[in-house]
Structure 1
């Protein structure tokens, strides 16, 4: 299949993506994984639809060499996480746009909408039926692998797949840096970065860095836009659990109504908890982030003093060339395979 045909099909997939947001699909997706609410599944589909804008897609693909006509496509195994809806789509797209065949072991927590997208792509161009395979078992015969999981599973992947060209992704977290000069609108966008997908994504903000004596009450109104998450059984169970633990242990925290702010030097906060740490000189944070760069997915700030930071509200709307862990997947597929 030529790259032109592949890109044309993905551009059309982007235009038709929202046709998958039917009541039946959204209901079934939530039944299979209660964390995948209708609201968040629709947001995931909308984000992918925007990513597949024709101009963006073609400009992105033009940066990389495509397989020569007649060359044998390689089979790329992809093992996905299941933390947020359609989290493995970007790898799926990269494998196919690079001219290779996709062998996917999709997390059982996230395989419903993924299969629907695959069916739609095959409907757009039946040639993809020979290029897309799913498996419930360990991938068998393949030429390279992309695997995403926890730190523990990543160690296993590193050992088990060491003889293959590979990209192995571990746990990462995202953080935000506030100066105290943010507007209420800024904090509403920060709320998106914190609460989308219940905070389960590696691009969700799990920790914020604040100046000394920051007034936590500033969070209550903008964060209340996600007050409805407290109606979700699994979320409120986490909220009540951690609140009771902090009370029993007499640990300080701030109850913002739908999330608990807890001072911690750790990066990865549990569901319903947002860690924070105070800083003195914001310029010193840049050095801190360099020292933990292998544990960070992205940094959110409007301060202008944090190199590489993105704006509030953009964490869960990555561009087509925002590669997980900063590893260029298309370069890997184009040059190493």
Structure 2
């Protein structure tokens, strides 16, 4: 038991050191000393890797990579990790947990990676081809901070064969394959989800600008990005357009701009009514999921109608933002306890 306590504390300290490094990279700080646990040469190599992500994946701009590094680095303070883990038993019997990671936004599988290792287990990560360099680079430094982890972390882009449990994230179609190949193991399978905003008409200009961040952060590629707005009858959409104007540069990203042009052309050819402000398309429909560069919306006449919509679609909704829900601007700022799909991964790991 004593050895488990020491090992847990060492892993927490290792992640806390990694957090300092991630926050520095997220803020684009200049190397000044060894307080981040790396030499100047090592730090510059990581900086170069951050800049190079957009070559591997056009969606992974330096700004988006830094945003992810900073947001997840904020989890990794020693006291925050210790408090989060205080009621979670450390594994007495080590299991190998396979993580099949998505690649829609930078480091999207980091929270699962963190949960598995801080529960005392080993991890095998099957990386997405869209995000296959950043986490291994960070993990190399984590293993330097905590050498015991060198035998606990494996990365692969190939087939996974030896495991005791699986956490897999993918599309609705992918979950059929997950079930076929990994259904015999204890598992968490995640499918497509999206997020909604419930407006009541009293939102300030600042809150509408923050809603813009919920929509456009990571170009809208995350399950925590808002794709549908519920608006009270009489809400003036010009207020929304005015509030999000500061995000107009998003259309200058080639991949986003291509999506905007394509969906505008397709929907207009099919005679759909669209509202357009030259960088995002609005379509009135009750459909939850919208194409990239488009936001769906519909009106409600009574708050109970909005509540009913959220309840009806709860299995496909990741986050609800609005007054009385997650604050505007915080959809892509989850805390340690904000588990994807509402499944407590730490509790699940404790039962393996």
**Residue number in structure 2 paired with 1:167:** 188
> Aligned residue for 1:35?
59
Q: How many residues are aligned here?
A: 328
Query: Are 2:348 and 1:332 aligned?
Result: yes
Q: Could you tell me how far apart the structure 1 residues matched to 2:165 and 2:350 are? A: 12
TM-score (norm: length of structure 1): 0.94
Question: How far apart are residue 27 of structure 1 and its match?
Answer: 2.2
Shift of 1:90: 0.3
Q: How does 1:61-210 map to 2 (within 5 A)?
A: 61-68=85-92, 72-210=93-231
Deviation at 1:92, TM superposition (A): 0.3
Q: 1:167 to 1:38 in 2, by over 3 A?
A: same
Question: Is 1:294 aligned with 2:294?
Answer: no
In the aligned structure 2, how far is the partner of 1:219 from the partner of 1:27? 33
Equivalent position of 2:264 in the other structure: 243
- Distance in 2 (alpha carbons) for counterparts of 1:115 and 1:205: 30
CA contact (8 A) 1:143 1:164 kept: yes
Cα shift readout 1:191-216 (whole Å, capped 9, x = no counterpart): 11000010000000011101123211
1:6 and 2:11 are equivalent in the alignment: yes
Q: Tell me the SS of whatever aligns to 1:270.
A: coil
Where 2:244 maps in the other structure, the secondary structure is helix
Contact 2:25 2:70 in 1 (8 A): no
CA contact under 8 A between 1:13 and 1:121: conserved in structure 2?
yes
What is the Cα deviation at residue 132 of structure 1?
0.3
Distance 1:118 1:330 in 2: 20
Contact 2:212 2:243 in 1 (8 A): yes
Per the alignment, residue 20 of structure 2 pairs with 15
Q: Please report the TM-score for the alignment, with normalisation by the length of structure 2.
A: 0.90
2:337 paired with 1:321: yes
Alpha-carbon shift at residue 20 of structure 1 (Å): 4.3
Cα 1:97/1:23, change in 2 over 3 Å:
closer
Runs of 4+ in 1 over 4 A off after TM superposition: 19-23
Please state whether the residue corresponding to 1:96 is helix, strand or coil: helix
Deviation for aligned residue 1:152:
0.5
> Residue 75 of structure 1 contacts residue 143 of structure 1 at CA under 8 Å; is this kept in 2?
yes
- Give the superposition deviation at 1:23: 4.2
Alpha-carbon distance between aligned partners in 1 of 2:231 and 2:242, rounded to the nearest angstrom = 18
Once the two structures are TM-superposed, the CA of residue 111 in structure 1 deviates from its matched residue by 1.3
Which residue of 1 is the match for residue 328 of structure 2? Answer: 312
User: What pairs with 1:21-60 in structure 2 (closer than 5 Å)?
Assistant: 23-60=47-84
Distance 1:173 1:182 in 2: 22
**Equivalent-residue separation in structure 2 for 1:256 and 1:186 (angstroms):** 19
Q: Which moved more, 1:281-290 or 1:73-82?
A: 281-290
Distance 2:133 2:344 in 1: 27
Q: Is the 8 A contact 2:99 2:166 kept in 1?
A: yes
Tell me if structure 2 keeps the 8 A contact 1:300–1:311: yes
